[in-house]
Chain A
Amino acid sequence: MIHFMKGCAIAASVAMGVLASSGPLQAAPDDGLINESSAALKGKKVAFVPIAMGFDLTEAWAAGLKLDAQRFGYELTIRDPNWSVDAGAQAISQLISEQPDVIVVHPPEIQAYTRLIQQANAAGIPVITVSLKADANGDVFVGPDWYDLAVKETESMVKFCGKDSGKSGKIAVMQGVLTNPTSQYGIQAIEATLKDHPEIQIVSNQAADWDASKAHAIASTVIKANPDLCGFIGLWDNMDVGIAAAIKEAGKQGQIYIASSGGGNQVSACDNIESGNFSSYVSYDAKGQARDLMMAVRAILQNKPTTPGEHSVGLYTPLKVITKETMTADSCWKLEDVKKFGP
């Protein structure tokens, strides 16, 4: 309770601080760039098409963009297709006809939006893709290197199940949506890494469409079919909790290793590491991505590319492996904090 009170007090004072500082901002002396750069953002239109709102990643990114929109007076519209690829495509085609100054896209699949991104570029609208890499680069990509991420996960798995571990070496892979870059590049990475470790074999490789309950059903049968299973490679925390529950149910927590990854949200990452639900976790720090995204949008708005899509910038997120040993108090971020104070 005292904690809570303290939190409130801090929140209030920070909020006041923000309010106070926003006042004299305009009266501050011109350093030769600041006025020009913030004026370039004013009145611009930014559109954001996530896969869906309502989960930690997109909420964090949106929180960042909202903060900037308020601060610099650009107009932010969020079109939420709620997991439907077709609705997302519809939203982007619609946006192309509305001509915003930049479109931020979170593509659910490698291919689905490729043509639309090209069309937007052709219509003179710069496109920023976030987190999931599409086949069309657009102008900026903000997100993790999925190959590297899967390599890191597999390496930690190898450490636990590999040679001299005394384990069976049987592992299972739980993919999300098959046409998603996490799967397309992730599977290549897992296979390439395991080439050097022939003692480890993949006994199950299935897709749960980012759905925890589906993951739970698949995982529990896999565990039963392979009683000596050594570990699971999962590709997203929100889905992998289903695997963790299946392991717990089978009474094998601690015996079956589970490597997960995600945006590093306190609830899905650090809490699960703490409780032993996940054994290791590769975080791509969605809070940091939110900041990268804010900056990418600012950069594009200030310096609009003459022919959008011609030169692409890749802002690959640094990855961080979290285990019980490496975890610190600030390994993770809290969504409510990001919403309140920005990334």
Chain B
Amino acid sequence: MSGRSITKLSQEKIVAIITIVLVVFFSATLHSFLTPGNILALLQNVAILGILGIAMALAIIGRGIDLSVVAIMAVSVAWVLQLNNNGVDLSQAIAMGFVLALAIGLINGVLIAYLEVPAIFATLAMGTAAYGSVRAVLLEDNLVYLKAAGDSWFKWIGSGQILGVPSPVMVFAVIALLAHLFLRFAVPGRFLFAMGDNPLAARATGVPIRPLIVLQYLLTAAIAFVAGVVMATAVDSMETRVARSNLVYDIILVVVIGGIGLNGGKGGIRNVLVGTLLIGVLLNGMTIMNIPYTLQNIIKSLILLAAIIIDALMNPRDEQTSQQGDI
């Protein structure tokens, strides 16, 4: 049995080991790597990615996926900034933007739960539709600046510090903790695992599957909104075109690389943290080494590929038990 426990490495452990190896390697070769300033910078750089990763993790654990997080984040927060710039009170603007984000999440949930549209399509389409319709109807410009609230507490969310720790890292930590508590101790959180593991069985045992799916996408949208606020206040603006970028793929990478299976029912916030850390360490190290952006993408993807290949070799899928239509 002891031999088995050695070979039975989970993907999370593999990634954690890779991360540690990388940290050791970078510390040895790059003198500016292992400094407190750099480590904090590293965390700050991936904080937004990590927050979005938590949102995505909630969706994936419940056997869904949310490809619209970036769009939700972009349009809802851009609207907040624009409302505020046009003279709407800040807190009221935030409330309106939050409601907008929740509304998009609600549509996602209803489409998936009640119309039974596969999550990947519902959210893919909703991402495009929400970006397009909000941009066409509500927003005046692709790029909305943070002007009116530039000096308020709002600005602090993305660019402040507590005891030297950048506030995005704090926000990431708080969201991670809340999500962890939700998944661990809240009833809907436990149900989320049950649903992700086997939706039919969960339904048969009385788990309210449909409301749970709606809740899942509402949560995802809410967290995406928070990530958007952090992003906008860090950059002083919100570029809605980010909705059309590859960012959502990066988010999925973070979640999956940490070991949350796309099948659902497995994993937790710790996996997101591990995945985020690996990406953070990699990006930071490569940036210090001045590797160009595109080459960084390739290296990042190759490492992810290595992680999933190792996972496939260690935990091979069986022809007899794998599910049909599982992509």
Q: A contacts B directly in the complex (CB < 8 Å)?
A: yes
The stretch of A130-138, A157-165, A180-188, A214-222 in contact with B is A214-222
Interface-forming stretch among B141-149, B183-191, B209-217, B259-267? Answer: B141-149
Min CB distance B29 to A, Å, is 14
- The verdict on A267 contacting B145 (CB below 8 Å), with A216-B235, A221-B283, A245-B235 known, is yes
* B197 on the A face (CB < 8 A): no
Distance to closest chain B CB from A318 (angstroms): 26
- 8 Å CB interface, A189-242 against B: 203-204, 206-207, 211-214, 216-218, 220-222, 224-225, 238, 241-242
Beyond A212-B143, A221-B45, whether A241 also contacts B237 by CB under 8 A is: yes
B133 at the interface (CB under 8 A from A): no
Which one of B44, B45, B245 contacts A214 once the chains associate, using CB atoms below 8 Å? Answer: B245
Which residues in chain A, 40-77, are within 8 Å of chain B measured between CB atoms? 52, 54-55
Residues on B with C-beta less than 8 A from A267 are 145
| B293 lies within 8 A of A55 (CB) | no
- Contact present for A221 and B284 (CB under 8 Å): yes
What is the size category of the interface that chain B forms with chain A?
20 to 34
Do residues B290 and A54 form an inter-chain contact, with CB atoms below 8 A? no
Asked if residues A245 and B236 are in contact (CB atoms below 8 Å), the reply is yes
Q: How far is the CA of A216 from the CA of B159 in the complex (A)?
A: 13
Q: Contacts of B44 on A, CB cut-off 8 Å?
A: 220
A312 to B100, CA, bound (A): 50
A211 engages B239 (CB within 8 Å): yes
Is the pair B288, A225 in contact by a Cβ cutoff of 8 Å? Answer: yes
What is the minimal beta-carbon distance from B165 to any residue of chain A, in angstroms? 14
Determine the distance from Cα of A212 to Cα of B245 in the docked complex, in whole angstroms.
12
Interface residue from A52, A220, A242 paired with B45 (Cβ < 8 Å) = A220
Residue A244 lies at the interface, judged by CB distance under 8 Å to chain B: yes
Closest to B150 in A: A275
Given known A211-B242, A248-B159, contact A222–B287 (CB-CB < 8 A): yes
Quick one: given A55-B142, A221-B45, A221-B284, are A248 and B293 in contact (CB under 8 Å)? no
Please tell me if the beta carbons of B293 and A241 are within 8 angstroms of each other in the complex: no
Does A249 count as interface, using CB distance less than 8 angstroms?
Answer: yes
A225 touches B239 (CB 8 A): no
B244 near A212 (CB under 8 angstroms)? no
Closest chain-B Cβ to A88's Cβ sits at a distance in Å of: 15
- A214 and B141 alpha carbons, distance in the complex (Å): 18
> B45, A54: Cβ atoms under 8 Å?
no
Q: A212-B235, A214-B245, A244-B236 are in contact. Are A224 and B143 (CB under 8 A)?
A: no
Q: Which residues on A sit within 8 Å (CB–CB) of B241?
A: 83, 211
On whether A55 and B159 interact (CB within 8 A), knowing A213-B235, A221-B283, A225-B288, the answer reads: no
CB nearest neighbor in B for A208: B293
Cβ-closest chain A residue relative to B74 = A213
Q: Which residue of B lies closest to A206 (CB)?
A: B293
In contact, A54 and B242 (Cβ under 8 angstroms): no
Within 8 A of A (CB), among B122-145: 135, 141-143, 145
Cα A52 to Cα B240 with chains together (Å):
13
Judging by beta carbons under 8 Å apart, are B287 and A221 in contact?
yes
Q: Write the B267-307 contact mask toward A (1 if CB under 8 angstroms, else 0).
A: 00000000000000001100110101100000000000000
Chain A residues, CB < 8 A from B51: none
| Residues of chain B with a CB closer than 8 A to A248's CB | 159, 236
A207 touching B293 in the complex, CB below 8 Å, given contacts A83-B241, A249-B159: yes
Q: Which residues of B contact A207 (CB under 8 A)?
A: 293
Give per-residue flags for A16-30: 1 if the beta carbon is below 8 A from chain B beta carbons, else 0.
000000000000000
CA distance A204 to B287 in the complex (A): 10
Q: Do A224 and B237 touch (CB < 8 A)?
A: no
Q: Mark B152-186, 1 if CB is under 8 A from A, else 0.
A: 00000001000000000000000000000000000
Docked Cα-Cα span, A273 to B145, in Å, equals 15
| Cα-based distance from A267 to B143 in the complex (angstroms) | 11
For residues 21 through 71 of chain B, which have their beta carbon under 8 Å from a beta carbon of chain A? 32, 38, 41, 44-45
Which partner residue on chain B sits nearest A250 by CB separation? B41
Other-chain residue from A52, A203, A214, A216 in contact with B290 (beta carbon distance below 8 A): A203
Name the distance in Å between A102's Cβ and chain B's nearest Cβ. Answer: 27
Name the distance in Å between A51's Cβ and chain B's nearest Cβ. Answer: 11
Nearest chain A CB to B283 CB, angstrom units = 7
- Give Cα distance in the complex from A225 to B30, angstroms: 11
Please state if B235 and A242 are interface contacts (CB–CB under 8 Å). yes
The chain B residue sitting closest to A275, CB to CB, is: B150
Chain B residues with Cβ below 8 Å from A203 are 290
Distance from B97 Cβ to chain A, minimum over Cβ atoms (Å): 17
List of B residues within 8 angstroms of A220 by Cβ: 41, 44-45
Q: How far is the CA of A158 from the CA of B142 in the complex (A)?
A: 33
- With a cutoff of 8 Å between Cβ atoms, the chain A residues found around residue B288 in the complex are 224-225
| CA A218 to CA B294, docked complex, whole Å | 11
Indicate which residue in A212, A222, A244, A249 contacts B239 across the interface (CB closer than 8 Å): A212
Task: Collect the chain B residues with CB atoms within 8 Å of residue A55's CB.
Answer: 141-143
16 A-B pairs with CB atoms under 8 Å apart are A204-B290, A206-B293, A211-B239, A211-B245, A212-B143, A213-B235, A214-B245, A218-B293, A220-B41, A222-B287, A224-B287, A242-B235, A242-B237, A242-B239, A245-B236, A267-B145
Binding site for B on A (CB under 8 A): 52, 54-55, 83, 203-204, 206-207, 211-214, 216-218, 220-222, 224-225, 238, 241-242, 244-246, 248-249, 267
With contacts A54-B135, A245-B236 known, what are 10 further pairs, Cβ within 8 A? A52-B142, A212-B235, A214-B245, A220-B41, A220-B45, A224-B38, A224-B284, A225-B32, A238-B143, A249-B159
Top 6 nearest A-B pairs (CB, nearest first) are A221-B287, A245-B235, A212-B239, A245-B236, A216-B235, A225-B288
